[in-house]
Amino acid sequence: MAYSVDFNLRPIMELELESLRGDDTAQDSMKGTGLESGSRETLEMEVLTTEGRDRLASQMSDVRERADERSEESIQTNLLVRKRWSTTTLRVLSSMPSRSIGQQSRLEIISQCNIRSTQLRRYHRQTQDVSLSSRPSIRGYGIEADSEDVCEEETKRQELVNNLQSLSAGDRVRLLRATPLSLAEKTKLRKLVFSDKVGQSLLSSQVPCCSLLKRALCHIWFGCLFILSSLQLWQVALKRLGGRFGTGVLSYFLFIRTLLLFNVFLFLINGLFLVLPQAIYPPLHTPSSHRVTGLELFTGTGYLSNSLMFYGYYTNSTINTSCRPDEATAGTGCGTTSDPHMMAYNIPLAYCFTIGITFFITGIVLVYSMSKSFGRSFRVFKSQGNMAIKVFCSWDFKVSKKMSVRMQSENITTQLKELLSEVKGGEEEKGRLSGMAVHLLAWSISLGSTFFCALGIHCFAKYMHLRRLEDAEGEVSVLHEARLLALPGVVSCGNLLLPGLFNLVSWMENFNSPIVRLYVSIFRNLLLKVSILGVLCYHWLGKIAAEPEQHGLQCWESFVGQELYRFLLVDFIFTALYTVFGEFIWKRFSQGVLRRRRKPVFDIARNVLELIYGQTLTWLGLLFTPLLPAVQILKLLLLFHMKKSSLLVNCQASRKPWRASQMSTLFISLLCFPSFLGAIVSVTYTILTIKPSSGCGPFRNLPFMFHSGKQWAQELKSTNHKLAWLNWVHHCLVENPLFLFLLAGVFLMVIYIHTQVLDGQRKTISLLQKQIENEGKDKKFLITSLQAIHEKRQYPLSPSSRPQGSELWRKWSLKGECTYFSLKNTGPLWPKSTNWITGLSLRISALT
Amino acid sequence: MGTTASQLGKDLLSEYQELTFLTKQEILLAHKRYSELLSKEDRNLTSVPMEKVLSLPELKSNPFRKRICHVFSTSDMKDGSLTFEDFLDLLSAFSDSATLEIKSHYAFRIFDFDDDGTLDGGDLEKLVNCLTGKTEDTRLTPEEMRQLISNSQISVLQNRIEQLEQLLEENHQIISHIKDSCSGADRLWRCVPQRTAALP
């Protein structure tokens, strides 16, 4: 125990009471320094601008000041239980924060309340002068040490009542309510306090009209909040899941909800600005001769290919509100109207800007939430002091089911053991050759399988394409349609099977720490998904989009869109199948045949990575399939309910500890970095460098997609002089790379500053923690020496029986100064936090 | 104190409202629950014995239930029996709107098993034993317990109520809302999911 000084106090002798009185001067000097510290600290506070520091600082000063304030009372309560320690030591001891906290006597609480009320009163009197840190000292309202508790309590109470009476009614009520006294006590106090008022129905008579109004408004506001919170998606289900499976599983479902909100946003923007206008003014197109087989729903071909779903359907016309639909779609006259009052809606432009803006906003939201969650996961104690949180704050008093209570205890036990083993075995290392070999083998297996999977997908895609070319010459049959589903099927199979292999490999590796194991498995799965998507993107954008004629495609954008649609769908089907077979059947099998009691465990990392994969597909396909977010929304909704019911029926809570906050940070950063960034790179690549197909879509007859904006700007310049500045804006913002560079620079700077601030806070926190520890050590040392001095005084004639006294004193006179100065030097930020110690040493010197 | 009458007086109600963090409805509901605890023959009693309080479904399986009763009880017998006012105190301290100071005060007292005003090694051991449950396989071994108690992080924290307060601020789940469960299942889910798991 580094900090807590362990005092085994025995009852004290009565006569020592006398000596207690004599030390008032020393006590005063101590208080004087305490008071000084207040003003000194205000200065420091101004220097330290960071909020967290301020809070910590004020808390630290609180600790010290409260210690000073309560020194007198605690001694009273402790008087009867001590014997061996000298009175001075006892006095010092009792003024220590650790001793004065837990004394839960009514007396003390009342006096604390008293202090607070005087503070409040002072605050009201001189609002501008009193800052948070410079609290008024108790000295002015000195509580005389009185030998009789009862008497003192009475005077205290009277004082408190007086203090309270000088406050406003609202403050009184608030102060009384916030006092940790029993209700009966509070009722008594309240009667005393409000005795000067005649009216007994206090609530109505004393609360002024405006505050009644405020109260009513508060009620309405809370009612609104309540309704709002009840509107939050799936609140009940999430609560239930969290109560049963813990925060880890909950983070998965919250992640689904986050993704759902992203997709709803994408869908709304796309639907409003792109799909809706086009749906109101549909283009003329030849009625399709496709048979309806139902398979189109899966492949996206047939009648679906010529619908609002895909890129190919959209026109390159401008819609005018006055134009009739058939005129508008013909693209004659309306497109180049010269009437400035007419609202023209340029579909290609809308397409370009809608996609751009959705990506932009999504990116900003992602980065923002990432920074937020980074900030959260590096909070004060989360950085290191996990143990204390686990012990003091891990119990959820909400849990009332017996099973859940057992589950919670089990979880806490495993987590505690986890932490203890981390503390103990931090430096333990394997370092064996066989271990290295196993790791090498595992990595080569996983990397090799990933590589072969990607290669296989590449070859298979090529092969399937050749087959499709052959088929295209003949009659279109159902079989050919179904063959389109082969590639997504193979990819999803790989996605399903390889993680199983990785699990097997990591089981073989036998990691020491479950966290390392988790990160390794996430990394491997991620690598697999990234390489698969990379190969597919190369296939679509590098091969098909580059020479669409060679592949016999009229409209390659629609084809790629259909492919992505198929991938999304097949991925969902495979997930559903996995849920049924992997979880339901397996549970039945293992319970029925293998007679195992344990149910399968819900694999959070893998499920989250699947979600991320699906979201990447959606982002990739946004350009080619504007309605893909709608499909993703449906998928996520179904997935939520499917996973929820499967979880409730089949699975059990994981026994592994799961640091939910850190994991959600990881998830969101994975979503941001490879997933979103990859999607944005490939979409930008498509817009900037690939020639859109000339036969379909909004960008037909353009060399590149981004030319539509250019064209529009030039048109605008020639037709509408009032809006010519938009051309300039477009030129500056979109075509000039300088702006983009500036934007990126500012963005990076903001990120940099943010990380610096976080880093600084963390450093300060560790400094403060060290400071606390040092203070504890110093206190312990000083108290021991104080005791020694006292013993030396008491037994001056028998040095042999108490040899350590003088020795300790000598030591202290050397070392005490040293510690004092070294403390002063080590903590440049907080030199005054040694004040308590200074007070102590002053006292000691006054004594000797 | 005579507050166990079937109907609370208007003045008393407003007084309770003023002195606790509960609303009128909650106080009435608490009163209903409390009168249910008193059986017919002991209607004239002013306090409910601890065994009865512990039979509340919200407290039934809570490992700290006895401590909670003892902390909130004002009876001179130290038997953990609760008067209605004590019961209201309990609900008020556990409600959402209670201040952190109140919560940490009572949390400290609940965790201070031997009522000596400090959280020392013995308290810590009892606390951990409560957390880990009664069964043999979930308990920490003596060696682990020793290690935990001597853990510097904990001992830095162990005596400081301010630190506990800060911890509470960090992690809201420590004190939750018995109030919610006492006011019916429809409001149970008003308490938001734990902050630790919240994704933005």
What distance in Å separates residue B177's CA from the closest CA in chain A?
6
Nearest to A97 among B124, B160, B196 (CB): B160
On whether the CB atoms of residues A453 and A531 are closer than 8 A, the answer is yes
A199-213: per-residue pLDDT in tens? 444 444 444 556 667
- Chain B partners of A82 at a C-beta cutoff of 8 Å? none
Q: How far apart are the C-alpha atoms of A476 and A301, rounded to whole Å?
A: 11
Confidence of residue A615 (pLDDT cuts 50, 70, 90): very high
CA dist A755 and A112 (Å) reads 40
Chain B residue numbers with beta carbons less than 8 Å from the beta carbon of A187 are 15, 19, 85
Q: Residue A731 burial (CB < 10 Å; 0-12/13-18/19+)?
A: middle
Distances (CA, A) of A392 to A396, B68, B159, B167: 11, 15, 12, 8
Tally of CA atoms within 13 A in the half-sphere of B31 that contains its CB? 19
The residue-averaged pLDDT of A476-499 equals 85
What value does the mean pLDDT take over residues A221-231? 63
From chain B, the residues in CB contact with A385 under 8 A are 153, 156-157
- CA trace torsion B77, B81, B82, B86 (10° rounding): 50
Q: Per-residue pLDDT tens for A547-557?
A: 777 777 778 88
Whether B99 contacts chain A with CB within 8 A: yes
φ/ψ of residue B83, rounded to 5: -85, 175
With a cut of 60, say whether residue A150 has pLDDT above it.
no
Structure confidence at residue A263 (pLDDT): 94
3-state secondary structure of A346: strand
Q: Give yes or no for residue A228 having a pLDDT over 70.
A: no
Instruction: For chain B, say whether A195 makes contact (Cβ under 8 Å).
Output: no
- The better pLDDT of the pair A225, A779 is held by A779
Does A184 lie at the interface with B, CB-CB under 8 angstroms?
yes
Cross-chain Cβ contact A387/B140 below 8 Å: no
Interface of B with A in 30-69 (CB under 8 A): 57-64
**Long-range own/partner contacts, residues A583-587 (CB < 8 A, 24 or more apart):** A583/A646, A583/A650, A583/A651, A584/A646, A584/A649, A584/A650, A587/A649, A587/A650, A587/A651
In B, minimum Cα distance to A380 occurs at B170
Cross-chain residue pair B193–A423, CB shorter than 8 Å: no
- Please give the residue of chain B at the shortest CA–CA distance from A777: B156
Here the tokens at position A245 are: 């499976």
- Residue A286: predicted pLDDT: 60
Residues in chain B: 200
Q: Compare all CA atoms of chain A with the CA of B117 and give the residue at the minimum distance.
A: A102
The whole-angstrom separation of Cα A684 and Cα A732 is: 18
Tokens of A741: 């560079």
A318, β-bridge pairs: A346
The C-alpha of A703 sits at a distance from chain B's nearest C-alpha, in angstroms, of: 41
Q: Do B131 and A184 touch (CB under 8 A)?
A: no
Q: Determine the Cα angle at A296 with ends A292 and A301, to 5°.
A: 110
- Evaluated on CA atoms B139, B144, B150, B155, the torsion sign reads negative
Distance of alpha carbon A711 from alpha carbon A555, whole angstroms: 22
Quick check: B199 and A394 CB within 8 A?
no
Is residue A487 classed as helix, strand or coil in its secondary structure?
A: helix
Enter the DSSP assignment of A181. Answer: S
Both tokens assigned to A189: 């106090």
Query: Nearest-CA neighbor of A828 among A219, A302, A48?
Result: A48
Alpha-carbon distance values, A262 to A368, A637, A640 (Å): 13, 13, 15
Q: Check if B133 contacts A (Cβ < 8 Å).
A: yes
Average pLDDT on A85-106 reads: 56
The three-state secondary structure class of A539 is helix
Strand partners, A345: A319
Distance CA A842, CA A615 (A): 66
Helix axes A169-177 and A149-165, enclosed angle (nearest 10)? 140
Q: Which of A59-73, A103-117, A618-632, B155-169 has the highest mean pLDDT?
A: A618-632
User: Per mean pLDDT, which range of A113-122, A595-604, B166-175 is the poorest?
Assistant: B166-175
ipTM of the complex: 0.72
Per-residue pLDDT band for A106 (boundaries 50, 70, 90) equals low
Structural tokens at position A762: 């963390």
Cα–Cα distance measured from residue A39 to residue A69, given in angstroms and rounded to the nearest whole number = 17
Residue A519 Ramachandran class (φ > 0 left, ψ -120 to 50 alpha, else beta): alpha
CA distance B175 to B16: 22
Q: Which two tokens stand for residue A48?
A: 């330290």
Return phi, psi of residue A346, to 5°: -90, 110
Cβ neighbours of A178 in B, within 8 Å: 99, 101-102
pLDDT band at A350 (very low <50, low <70, confident <90, very high): confident
Percent of chain A with pLDDT over 70: 60
* Cβ-defined contact of A182 to B139 (cutoff 8 Å): no
DSSP string across A200-228: S-HHHHHS-HHHHHHHHHHHHHHHHHHHH
| pLDDT computed for residue A474 by the predictor | 62
Residues facing residue B83 across a β-bridge: B47
Show which of residues 416-445 on chain A sit within 8 Å of chain B, judged by CB atoms: 416-417, 420, 423-424
| Rg, Å, chain A Cα set | 37
Q: What tokens appear for A674 in the block?
A: 């490879």
**pLDDT, mean of residues B147-154:** 64
Answer yes or no: are the C-beta atoms of A191 and B15 closer than 8 Å: no
> Higher confidence at residue A206 or residue B37?
B37
* SS3 assignment for chain B: CCCCCCCCCHHHHHHHHHHCCCCHHHHHHHHHHHHHHCCCCCCCCCEECHHHHHCCCCCCCCCCHHHHHHHHCCCCCCCCCEEHHHHHHHHHHHCCCCCHHHHHHHHHHHHCCCCCCCCCHHHHHHHHHHHHCCCHHHCCCHHHHHHHHCCHHHHHHCCCHHHHHHHHHHCHHHCCCHHHHHCCHHHHHHCCCCHHHCCC
Cβ–Cβ contact A8 with B under 8 A: no
Distance in Å, alpha carbon of B26 to nearest chain A alpha carbon? 14
Q: How far apart are CA B166 and CA B101, in angstroms?
A: 10
In chain B, which residues have their Cβ closer than 8 Å to the Cβ of A833?
none
Mean pLDDT, rounded, for A500-519: 80
Alpha-carbon span A410 to A408, nearest angstrom? 5
Q: Does A173 touch chain B (CB under 8 A)?
A: yes
Question: Given this model, what pLDDT does residue A796 score?
Answer: 62
Q: Is B108's CB within 8 Å of A229's CB?
A: no
Across the interface, of A187, A389, A406, the residue whose CB is closest to B15 is A187
Q: Which residues in A lie closer than 8 A to residue B131 (C-beta atoms)?
A: 391, 394-395, 409, 412-413, 416
Q: From the CB of residue A683, how many other CB atoms can be counted at a distance below 10 Å? A: 21
Phi-psi sector, A595: left (phi>0), alpha (psi -120 to 50), beta: left
Q: What is the 3-state secondary structure (H, E, C) of A43-108?
A: HHHHHCCCHHHHHHHHHHHHHHHHHHHCHHHHHHHHHCCCCCCCHHHHHHHHCCHHHHHCCCCHHH
Per CB-CB distance under 8 Å, the chain A contacts of B115 are: 104
Distance of CA A375 to the CA centre of its chain: 7
Q: pLDDT tens digit string along A36-67?
A: 333 333 333 333 333 444 444 444 444 444 44
Q: Which residue has the higher pLDDT, A642 or A204?
A: A642
Tell me which H or E stretch contains A619.
Answer: helix A604-621
Query: In chain A, what residues touch B64 (CB-CB under 8 Å)?
Result: 395, 397
Interface with chain B: mutation pick from A394, A398, A615, highest number of B CBs within 10 Å: A398
- Which residue has better confidence, A568 or A771? A568
Tell me if B16 sits within 8 A of B27, measured CB to CB: yes
- Indicate yes or no: CB of B128 within 8 angstroms of CB of A238: no
Chain B residues within 8 A of A391 when measuring between CB atoms: 124, 127-128, 131, 148, 154
Residue A473 burial by Cβ neighbours in a 10 Å radius (0-12, 13-18, 19+): exposed
To 5 degrees, how large is the angle CA A721–CA A727–CA A732?
Answer: 150
CB contact under 8 A, A410 and B190: no
Task: Check: CB of residue A484 under 8 Å from CB of residue A301.
Answer: yes
A592 burial via Cβ count (<10 Å: 0-12, 13-18, 19+) = exposed
Residue A720 has pLDDT above 90, yes or no: no
Q: Among residues 136-165 of chain B, which lie with CB inside 8 Å of chain A?
A: 138-140, 144, 147-148, 150-164
Q: Do B170 and A389 touch (CB under 8 A)?
A: yes
Closest in A1, A180, A409 to B150, CB measured: A1
For residue B86, what pLDDT band results from cuts at 50, 70 and 90? confident
Flag if B133 and A413 touch (Cβ within 8 Å).
Answer: yes
User: What mean pLDDT is predicted for residues A690-712?
Assistant: 83
Report the mean per-residue pLDDT for chain A.
Answer: 70
Q: Chain B contact for A202, CB < 8 A?
A: yes
**What average pLDDT does range B156-169 have in this prediction?**
52
pLDDT at A723: 73
Q: Which residue does chain A place closest to B62, by CA atoms?
A: A400
**A397–B170 C-beta distance less than 8 A:** no
Q: Say how many C-beta atoms besides its own lie within 10 A of residue B196's C-beta.
A: 22
Q: Within an 8 Å CB–CB cutoff, is residue B114 touching chain A?
A: no
- Rounded Cα distance between A542 and A547, Å, is 9
